[in-house]
Amino acid sequence: MAYRFKLDVASIQDGVREIAGELIDDAIEDTGAKRRDVSEVVHSSRKACKKLRGLIRLVRPVFDDYRPENVAFRNAGRGLSALRDGSVLIETYDGLLETYGEKVDRSKFAPIRRRLTLLQKEATEREDIPQMLDIFRQSMSAARKRVRRWNISGDEFEALEPGVRRSYKGAQRAMDAAATNPTAETVHEWRKRVKDHWYHARLLCPIWQKPMKVHGDVANQLGDLLGKHHDLEVFMQRLADEKLGEANALEVLLGLARRRQKALEEESFAIGARLLAESAGSLTRRWQSYWEAWRSDGPRQTAVAA
């Protein structure tokens, strides 16, 4: 099932409630499943929290309970983050060596890879994992009850327009800030704002599927590049903090990570300049015209999510 509004949504409030409810139900089911890989469960659960936060940001200006709900979903995802960090470090290492492996002696970094694997194994074999997952399920179950009472003011695109405009404008401003002062913090903030806009493009994809999907795919591509930039920053911090290998090997790896970050920045700014070239007002008016044409197309169905 798709993370999107469907044509026969009785109201924006009903659509948001149903999408949120299905995301939460799936997250509860995933964390309760037995014999599933812990990393996969944690990844899907944290992804559900991010989708939920993206959903309520779309209606933030007309949703009085936005702030406490956003904090609740953020904290629920953070509670599982320690179980995901090790996998990200390994993925970052592998990606870095895939990019530059032919230019260095890979064998020198083998002890680092083994140490990262050991740290990940220790994280996924923690005795308190069932308790952590249970706490997550409890928080999701409590949220499921609250969702039924969510009050979204307004309806049709008038309820969505402020959120669409805010997320797109936020991505533009964050890109400008990162271009002026490209630090790990400004680039990471840009990534978060791009992710918001991507979630909103996904939710509204049906209003004109082909162009909206292309737009969303580019936003996703940009978000992934900026995400890799952030992962490299965390990876470099870990290399500096942990005794993962010989000093010379660590220094070479740090140099490769910085080089890769710079390349990711250049690619990201090239894509961002195109994705975010339109004014926020123009984009929201265009999406509103798509919405109105879509809503006049036929009988209404039900909003769903996955």
Give a yes or no: residue 76 inside a domain: yes
CATH of the domain at 64: 1.40.20.10
Give a yes or no: residue 189 inside a domain: yes
Q: How far apart are CA 69 and CA 284, in angstroms?
A: 25
pLDDT at residue number 298: 57
Give a yes or no: residue 110 inside a domain: yes
Give a yes or no: residue 133 inside a domain: yes
pTM above 0.95, yes or no: no
pLDDT in 10s for each residue of the chain, 306 residues: 579 998 988 899 999 999 999 999 999 998 877 656 777 888 899 999 999 999 999 999 999 999 999 999 999 998 888 777 888 999 999 999 999 988 888 888 989 999 999 888 888 778 788 898 999 999 999 999 999 999 999 899 999 999 999 999 999 999 999 999 999 999 999 999 999 999 999 999 999 999 999 999 999 999 999 999 999 999 999 888 667 788 888 999 999 999 999 999 999 999 999 999 999 999 999 999 999 999 987 544 444 444
* First-to-last C-alpha distance (Å) of the chain: 5
Give a yes or no: residue 302 inside a domain: no
DSSP-assigned letter for residue 10:
S
Domain extent for 91 = 12-146+159-295
* Count of other CB atoms within 10 angstroms of residue 5: 27
Give a yes or no: residue 7 inside a domain: no
Alpha-carbon 113 to chain mean position:
26
Give a yes or no: residue 106 inside a domain: yes
List alpha helices for 148-208, DSSP H. Answer: 156-180, 184-203
β-partners of residue 152 are 63
Total number of domains constituting the chain: 1
Give a yes or no: residue 115 inside a domain: yes
